[in-house]
Amino acid sequence: MTETLSVELGDRSYPIRIGTGLLNDPAQFAPYIAGRQVCIVTNETIAPLYLKALESTLIGYQVDACVLPDGEEHKTLQTYANVLDHLMVHRHNRSTTLVALGGGVVGDVAGFAAATYQRGVAFIQVPTTLLACVDSSVGGKTAVNHPQGKNMIGAFYQPRLVLADLRTLDSLPAREYLAGIAEVVKYGIIRDASFFDWLEAHVDDLLRRDASALKHAVRTSCAVKAAVVAVDEREDGVRAILNYGHTFGHAIETLTRYEYLHGEAVAIGMVMATDLSMRAGMLDRAAGKRIKSLVAAFGLPVVPPGNITPDAMRSAMGMDKKAIDGRLRLVLARAIGDALVTERFDPGAFRDTLSAHGGLCEE
């Protein structure tokens, strides 16, 4: 059965539909396509699996496909420019609709192209990774990376529809699937203690991708995200809690040049943010231990690679978007299910967290 959630943003509200086989149902798409032209943006890994099916579903439109190389290292201005070239060459006009078929990179690049092609065209997200289903496809953040920082170039631009066909997750490699689980765990930590409890009780079900457990995890994650985005679309405040672990994680991604999947880097980042929350006296040790244990139980990494120094982390974190006027803002946890954004934490505790998690420590 297909479930529908809604992201409530006034005249930019849109549905998130979660089910199986949605990719093959023309009726799912028709109300959200603006004109007669569609450009499917996907990548070379996903295209052989689902592109034909989606093209068949979209019969009756002028459908072009723009197939990107796979990988976070291609989430660049150049790849974005290639999508725009594709739209120009195929003469897409202002009433075209871009459909992102893929994971977070495809969604972020296609979304930024949709936000800026002819100053904005219709956009539909069809996430095919767990991470994209529960996180990147929802909420309107689009971006590409700059060589000096992740997601530094982009726009807030909401899709008209998020269509999560859980059947596409069957083909997901284990490593990517687990990277998505990291963001699922995040929702428990920041906003939903009972979901965290449920996750602890369903590690095995999720590891074997039990359909019912997976659907519950996706629905609950999207519900948390939709609720947060609805009250703070442009991240002027509370939305920043969705970045739990991300400031540490982005630094790790930048410093390792995207050796880690985003979710893996976030997993390490969440453990570090949890460590800092404890050292700063906000979070009790038992809760901190439960968080680290749950991340580890899913087989996700919990420490950064040994060649990253505390100094390198500090510098990479300073350029993160979450830094306001030079001061570092971080998301910390007061309890499981209760995160907050703060600039007020003991610099000594921060230093200790970096040292405890950094290789080649000078301190």
**Which residues are tagged catalytic?**
119, 141, 183, 225, 235, 239, 243, 246, 250, 262
Q: Which of 148, 285, 286, 362 binds a second copy (CB under 8 A)?
A: 148
Looking at beta carbons only, is 102 or 154 nearer to a second copy?
154
Angle at 69 between CA 63 and CA 74, to 5 degrees: 120
Quote the CA–CA distance of 22 and 137 in Å, as a whole number: 16
Please check whether residue 109 is in contact with residue 84, taking contact to mean a CB–CB distance below 8 angstroms. Answer: no
How far is CA 232 from each of CA 56, 65, 133, 185, 328, rounded to the nearest angstrom? 37, 33, 20, 21, 20
Q: Is 305 in the site for a second copy (CB under 8 A)?
A: no
Q: Report, in Å, the least distance between residue 90 CB and a second copy.
A: 11
Q: Report, in Å, the least distance between residue 120 CB and a second copy.
A: 7
Quote the CA–CA distance of 124 and 67 in Å, as a whole number: 16
How far is CA 98 from each of CA 65, 93, 112, 116, 353, rounded to the nearest angstrom? 10, 11, 10, 12, 43
| HSE-CB for 305 with a 13 A CA cutoff | 15
Q: Is 234 in the site for a second copy (CB under 8 A)?
A: yes
Quote the CA–CA distance of 209 and 169 in Å, as a whole number: 9
Q: Which of 6, 13, 56, 95 binds a second copy (CB under 8 A)?
A: 95
Partners of 37 in the beta sheet? 62
Q: Is 290 in the site for a second copy (CB under 8 A)?
A: no
Q: Report, in Å, the least distance between residue 358 CB and a second copy.
A: 22
User: What mask, x for binding a second copy by CB under 8 A, covers residues 20 to 49?
Assistant: ---------------xxx------------
Q: Is 229 in the site for a second copy (CB under 8 A)?
A: no
Q: Report, in Å, the least distance between residue 179 CB and a second copy.
A: 23
Binding residues for a second copy, rule: CB under 8 A, are 35-37, 77, 81, 84-85, 88-89, 91, 93-95, 112, 115-120, 141, 143, 146, 148-149, 151-156, 234-235, 318-319, 321-326
